[in-house]
Structure formats: C-alpha cells, structure tokens
Structure 1
Amino acid sequence: MPKVDDDLPSGLTPREFSARIFGTSEPRTGRGLELAPFHGVRFAPEVAGDPAAVTTPPYDLIDEAGALRLLAGGGYNIVRLNLPRAAGESYATAGERLRRWLDEGVLAVDRDPALYVYEAARGGTVLQRGLVGALGLRAESEGVVLPHEDVFPGPVRDRLALMTAAKANLEPIFLLYDGGDDAARIVNDAADDEPLLEFCADDGLTHRLWRIADPALHGRVAADLRGKRALIADGHHRYATYRALQARHHAAGDGPGPWDAGLALLVDSSRYPPHLGAIHRVLPGLSPAEAVEQARKVFRVTDFRDEATALEALAGETGHAFLLGGGDSLHLLTDPDEHALSRSMPSDHSPRWRRLDTAVLDHVLIGGLWNVPENENAIEVVHDDPSAAVARARRLGGTAVVLNPLKVADVVAVAGEGERVPRKSTSFGPKPRTGLVLRLLRPDFDQ
C-alpha cells in the first residue's frame, strides 16, 4: 500500500484518492473474508445509565443541532467521544475522556474475546440481525471487501485524527454479504438466548446485543466466511480510515497489529435484506423556477400541487425520474431525451453505471443543465425523507430533488466490476446503533 502521511494527500479527484486509500495495487493475501473475535468495550449500565441515553445513530447522521442537544443532556453520551468538536473540544480530549471512562468503570472491557450479535427490530419484526467483529482489512484488488462509493480526503482526515487520538474504533461500519450457511445459523441460534442488552431508542427500534464467546463457534464462522465477499453498505470513509491507519503503522515498521482490522457489522442479506433508501438533494442556490425551466430542455415535466400524489407518481416510474420541489408546486421530470443523455454521460463507465438515476442527476441535471458545483455548500443531502428535503428547500428558497432508491442488485453489480456509484447514491439501513460496542486499538488487546 502507498505510504499515508499524517496529512492525507490533497489535490486528487475522489476516484484517485479512493484508489490510493483502498489500495488497488496491493498483492493478494488469499485470506478471504475475515471477521475475528475481539475484547468488546461496552457501557456499564450501572454507571453510565440507560443505554438509550448514551447511544446514538451513526455520527454522520447527527447534525450540529442534534449533537448540541445530546451534549446538553450531560452524562456519558457517545457523542462526547466521536463528535467532541461539537462541544469545542479536541480529539486529544476525547481520547483522554475514553481512557478516563475506562478507568472509572463507565466503559468495561469484556474479559474474553467474542463476536457479538446485533439486532434491530420494530415491534415483533426483526429488521436486521448480524455479527459484529474485527473485520480483516483487504485491498480492493482482492475482491473481498467491496466499496461502492468514492471517498473524500476531508472526512477521512477527520476520522483518522479521532481514531489516532482515541486509539479505538468507536462505531462499526456496516457490510452485507450473501450467506445463508453456518454463520447465519450461529447468529440465529445466539439470538434465541437472553440478550446482554435490550432497549428501545428514540428511533422507534428495539436494539439487542448478544455475545458469542465460544472459540469453536468462532472457528465455524471463520470457515464459513472464508470464501465469501462483502459489500460496504455504510461507512466508506471509516473503512478508508481503517486502511489509512493500517498504512501508517506499517510505514512506521509496527508490523501486524490491531490496526489490520476494523470494527464492523456483517449482515447476511439473504436472511435479512437491507432497506435501501434514496439520498435526496437540496440545492440552496438554485430557484425552483430556474431548475424547471432548464430541465424542460431535456425532460418531460408534469406539475403537481399535492405532495403525496407527486411522490406516488415518482414511485410508479420505472425509467429515469426526478421530483423537483421547493416552490408552491412540485414537478416530476420523466422521459429524458436519449440523445441528450448520451451526450452528457461520461463514456468511461459501464452501461449499467450510466443508467443509474444518480449518475443522470449528477451529469445531466446538476453538472449540466444547472451548472451547480459539486461541494457541500452548493449541494445538501437528506437521507430517505422526501418531505424533509422539500421542506428544507422551501425554507432556503432553493430546489429539492427527490429520487427513487437505486436497486440493490445494481449497486452490487457496479461494485463487483470495480466501479463506484456516484457519491451519496445509497442509504442502506437500518444502520447499527453507535455506542453498543467499541474496539480498542492497543497491542495489549491485539486480535
């Protein structure tokens, strides 16, 4: 792997940066998919309090206002470790706090290495159940851990600074694999027992955690996973951070260690199919009137006054379709001119990639007809909530673009061919709860 300096390389395109971080040029190890047991670190309820009050959604789903609300509640919420800057604190301070919480018994380290079973349920329906463990890091060229989105230097630099200061993986990434064999049976058998932890959170879900400490079961899981591969569903920047941290230690001559793995939730998609939602766009600087006027050059436009009717019409479309909101009306874009599509879409991608709605959005609408730059000030995103996107656009005087979700099969196929879907194309869920189990990156806890 190329050396990764303290200052991650800048001046690269997202594709170039992703290739460098994910390590496409590394030789194959031949070890396949690995999810190893580790000494889990968990909040001690008798000291930390209600698990619902100290755990959160993933860090990148918490906005500044949400982080401040959680911080204002006091106590031991995980945001004090993984979002310290919301309180004006440094990552060094967060690392010191983690070590203090370990010393004070707020966090406890499990004595024996284990795999963990995590479940999210609504009512009596299990939405997700999978294994939490230490994922063996692999170069993309091995075809074992498959990213499907490019990453950007800023978020990787941010998470690398935190991970280095904390010497810990503070939340798992989320991967999918097509299993259905022995590991799946072990997961379901474990969930028949009394959980270590069970609570209802403000997301409306019941979260449960079990521990698998039997080395014989660890061996069976390892044997079952060895020939399989996994898709990164959520956590591309954190996986890239794992790889960057690994490269830094190897460049320093540290050799094998806990940095050769990263905390991950692995879900068997054949047993627990994921929910794949869309990520909608809000363009604060683009008026709805201008957006519609330019879109008419390529798309058929149908106007709606009622949001529910417009969303139903969007969901019923099988071709390229986008719903624009922000003003008094909503506008459904359909039936794009095929010649305009062929002129606008980059030729260095596969036909499947060029058919993705998010690719058409980026190249035909945002970068083409609307000439909006690709940056966080010009383009905001809203995960899986079209009404929230439309409402935000109205508040800002801008334009919301509501999309249908991509198909899981298309995402997997694109990743399997070594391509990436456009950035912010997928919102897989349910995402694992942050703070249920952490993993230390210290040689005395080497897995």
Structure 2
Amino acid sequence: MALIRPFTGLRPLPEQAAAVIAPPYDVVTAVEARARAAGRPWSFLHISRAEIDLPEGTDPHAPEVYAKAAENLERMVAEGILHRDTQPRYCAYRLTRGAQTQTGLVAVASVAAYESGRIRRHEFTRPDKEDDRVRQIEALHAQTGPVLLTYRQDAAVAELLAGVTAEAPEFGVTADDSVVHTLWVIRDPEVTAALSSAFEAMQSLYIADGHHRSAAAARVAANRKAANPAHAGEESYNYFLAVLFPHDQMCILDYNRVVRDLNGMRPETFLESLAAEFRVEQEPEPVRPSARGEFGLYLAARWYRLTLDPACIPAADPVGRLDVSLLTDRVLEPLLGIVDLRRDPRIDFVGGSRGLEGLMARVDSGEMAAAFSLYPTSMEDLMAVADSGRVMPPKSTWFEPKLADGLVSHVLD
C-alpha cells in the first residue's frame, strides 16, 4: 500500500473559495463560529461546527449536529459551491503569513502506515475526541479536516513543488487572520508519479497536528474493513486526508501555562521555593524565553526570568529535555501539586498566538494566580520523540499558521 497517494478531492470553485474556507473546527468556540459564519451561508463552519445552525446551547456532539453537517455538505455540493475532481490529483498548498511561507502537498496518507508506525505520533489521544471525529466522518462519508504531517526536508520534493508553484494557482485567498492560502491542482501525471515515488522513498512521516483525526480515520477504516467482505486494501477508507510540509518550513510557537493557585503558598514563598532550582531574576518587561531551560513567570503583576542550570537538563532524553517537561518535573508537580496535566482543573494552556499579553490578562483578571512562558518545542525535538516511540506532555506544540478547513475534502466512496 502506498505511503501517500492522489485522490479525487472535493474543492470549492475558485470564485467561491474565499466564501468557503474557515478556521479549523477545534480553534474556534461555538460562539466564535456563529459570529464568523454570520451572513456567510457557504462558510465551511456550517459543516465543521454545524451546531451554529441549531438552537443555541445545542450539544455539539448531539446526533442532530452531525446530521446537520451532512445536510449542509450535500447542499453545498448540490448548489455547485463544492465540486469533486474526476481524476485523482495531488494539490500544492502554500501558507503565507507575513514573511513566513510554507509550501506542501495535499494528499491522502495510508492508515496502514499510521498503524505500523511509519507515520509516527508524539501524542496520546482522548477517546471522547476520537469518538467525535468518527461520528463526523461517518455522517459526512468524508474527511474534511486534514491531518498536518511533516517530513524531513527532501530536495526532490522541493524541486517538484517549485515547478508546480511557478505556474498560476487554482486560487489564492486571504483569510480573516491575514494568512494567505494558495492552492495549485497538479494535473501532470509525470509530476504526480514523481511525487509519489519521492515520498515512498522516505523512511517515515510525522504527525505534527491532528492525532485525533488520524486515530478516528483508522477506526473508521477498521469498521469499514470489517463490514466489507470484498475488502482489497485500496478502498478510499484506507487513507486519510493530510497536508505534508517539510520540517524546515514549519513554525512551532510557544505553548504556555497558567495556574489557578499556588498550592497554598504566598507569592514570596513560591519564589523562594523556585530559587532552589532556578536562578530567579525580576524583569521590567514581559519575559519571552530565548533558550532551552529558560522560563518567564508572571506573578503578582511582576515578571521574573527563571533560568535552569544547563547541567540539570537531560540532553539524551528526548522527552525529559523538553521545556514543557522541565517545567512539569521541577515546578508543576513538586511545588504546585499538579500531576495530571490532562485532567487537573487548576492548570490551563495558552497558545503562543495569544501573546504574552494573553498570559497577563488571565492573571490580572484574578482568574489565575501565575503564568509561565516557555521556549518553543523544536521540530527536531518533535521528530526525536516520535522516533523514540514516546509521547510529549499535553499541549507541547502550537503550530502557526493553521490549515484552512474546506480547502479540500476526501470523500469516502
């Protein structure tokens, strides 16, 4: 079974692309989705967050939400807003945010490669989130949210994509957040074959974002295989929608932490406790860490820089050396008593796109007692963890810019 392959994608007409594309379903709340989709009948949010078309307060996991999503998708196809390729195609996809540009490939990736570990993971998944994506896929008979994959930069792929993107694109649209999404449909069979061969030669791919989507696709594939006595392995359900970017073009922002209380300590006592492990320095400006082992702390309306002795960082341990692990192992667990980052209500996570101001606002409001700013996880760290067969702590990576929903969907025949 091929590692990746082209597919008959369901795409918006070029003149409708700006009206269709939307943020990923999991980065907007229902309230934000309603506001963004207001007056936009073709926004993909009517599919990815279909509860916005039902009474306020509707459970987003209720059966009628998935049914409404399917109804909305069928309507967009019937109205000609979305159309499906007649031949399997790859697409080149470019994201541009200011000076940052990343160019990748839209494809479908092998479920078998995911299950065997050739497509490598670095996160645990939650069953309830998997269940949600399984219900969405089954209701739509389509995968509409792409998995973000990465691969070690490859000269052959770069050259092929450079040739494709030298031509006029199918469309280019600027989203609400000023990110430009540009798509090229690859119709040259020789280029398609060369891309397939180049990826087939790779030892592995890595999930950057979309662990629940890929896990859900694997569950759907298993269910459909069991129900299909003529299963041959090449059916569309054996693959999942993905966008693949080279690792050296990916951007990971910091993923910061806020805590609700200091575990019974006063601020000055907490600072004294930190001094046993870190060099603690008060700073006049917000602290954005510039190196591994350095942290910012916002506490009682003041910023502090926390610096760990490099000798305390376990360089040979791909998980233990992560800043998210260092903070957990040396502060959150022993001092604050926060052991389960997935379930403890005393901790929350703030993506780097919110800025240091977002951390300060959570503390200044009185909602949280303290905030920690972290140095971003690197792509090399992500791949090292995945290669070791281990997982990162929760909320270790925040990728920007985000992929658009609605750009291309994968129909399960």
Cross-structure match for 1:35: 4
Do the aligned partners of residues 263 and 398 (structure 1) sit closer, same or farther apart at CA in structure 2, a change above 3 Å counting?
Answer: same
The within-5 A match list for 1:392-431 is 392-395=362-365, 396-431=367-402
Q: How far 1:291 moved relative to its partner?
A: 5.2
CA distance in 2, matches of 1:118, 1:324: 38
Of 31, 39, 46, the residue aligned with 1:80 is 46
Deviations 1:140-176 (A, max 9, x none): 5744211122222221111111111111111211111
The within-5 A match list for 1:325-336 is 325-335=298-308
SS at match of 1:436: coil
Bigger shift: 256-265 or 178-187?
178-187
The AA in structure 2 aligned to 1:332 is: R
SS at match of 1:160: helix
The AA in structure 1 aligned to 2:279 is: R
SS at match of 2:364: helix
Unaligned runs of 5+ in 1: 1-30, 343-348, 443-447
Q: How far 1:337 moved relative to its partner?
A: 10
Do the aligned partners of residues 239 and 108 (structure 1) sit closer, same or farther apart at CA in structure 2, a change above 3 Å counting?
Answer: same
Do the aligned partners of residues 73 and 393 (structure 1) sit closer, same or farther apart at CA in structure 2, a change above 3 Å counting?
Answer: farther
Deviations 1:381-400 (A, max 9, x none): 22113322222232223322
Q: For the Cα contact (< 8 Å) 1:179–1:268, is it kept in 2?
A: yes
Of 339, 346, 351, the residue aligned with 1:383 is 351
Cross-structure match for 2:61: none
Q: For the Cα contact (< 8 Å) 2:297–2:372, is it kept in 1?
A: yes
The within-5 A match list for 1:157-168 is 157-168=131-142
The AA in structure 2 aligned to 1:370 is: L
CA distance in 1, matches of 2:308, 2:75: 59
CA distance in 2, matches of 1:71, 1:199: 17
Q: For the Cα contact (< 8 Å) 2:294–2:307, is it kept in 1?
A: yes
Cross-structure match for 1:221: 195
Percent identity over the alignment is: 28
SS at match of 2:221: helix
Cross-structure match for 2:283: 304
Give RMSD over aligned pairs: 2.6
CA distance in 2, matches of 1:44, 1:381: 37
Q: For the Cα contact (< 8 Å) 1:160–1:245, is it kept in 2?
A: yes
CA distance in 2, matches of 1:169, 1:73: 25
CA distance in 1, matches of 2:9, 2:97: 26
Deviations 1:156-214 (A, max 9, x none): 11111111111111121111112434332221111111111112222222221000123
Q: How far 1:357 moved relative to its partner?
A: 1.1
Do the aligned partners of residues 177 and 73 (structure 1) sit closer, same or farther apart at CA in structure 2, a change above 3 Å counting?
Answer: same
SS at match of 1:353: coil
Cross-structure match for 1:284: 260
Q: How far 1:56 moved relative to its partner?
A: 2.2
The AA in structure 2 aligned to 1:163 is: I
Q: How far 1:216 moved relative to its partner?
A: 2.6
CA distance in 1, matches of 2:191, 2:183: 17
Q: How far 1:127 moved relative to its partner?
A: 0.9
Do the aligned partners of residues 102 and 286 (structure 1) sit closer, same or farther apart at CA in structure 2, a change above 3 Å counting?
Answer: farther
The within-5 A match list for 1:165-204 is 165-204=139-178
CA distance in 1, matches of 2:381, 2:175: 32
CA distance in 2, matches of 1:411, 1:364: 21
SS at match of 1:368: coil
Deviations 1:362-414 (A, max 9, x none): 23322221112422743322211332222223222332211001222222112
Of 237, 241, 245, the residue aligned with 2:220 is 245
Cross-structure match for 2:404: 433
SS at match of 2:318: helix
CA distance in 2, matches of 1:138, 1:400: 41
2:211 is aligned with 1:231: no
The AA in structure 1 aligned to 2:368 is: G
Q: How far 1:433 moved relative to its partner?
A: 1.7
The aligned length equals 392
Q: For the Cα contact (< 8 Å) 1:299–1:337, is it kept in 2?
A: no
Unaligned runs of 5+ in 2: 59-63
Do the aligned partners of residues 139 and 431 (structure 1) sit closer, same or farther apart at CA in structure 2, a change above 3 Å counting?
Answer: same
2:27 is aligned with 1:61: yes
CA distance in 2, matches of 1:376, 1:252: 40
2:105 is aligned with 1:135: no
Do the aligned partners of residues 97 and 122 (structure 1) sit closer, same or farther apart at CA in structure 2, a change above 3 Å counting?
Answer: closer
Deviations 1:49-88 (A, max 9, x none): 4x33432232222234322312333411111111223553
Of 317, 323, 331, the residue aligned with 2:296 is 323
Q: For the Cα contact (< 8 Å) 1:115–1:212, is it kept in 2?
A: yes
CA distance in 2, matches of 1:168, 1:403: 37
Cross-structure match for 1:19: none
SS at match of 1:369: coil
CA distance in 1, matches of 2:14, 2:379: 38
Deviations 1:229-281 (A, max 9, x none): 211111111111111211222233452321110111111235xx211212111
SS at match of 2:106: strand
CA distance in 2, matches of 1:74, 1:197: 19
The TM-score normalised by the length of structure 2 is 0.86
The TM-score normalised by the length of structure 1 is 0.80
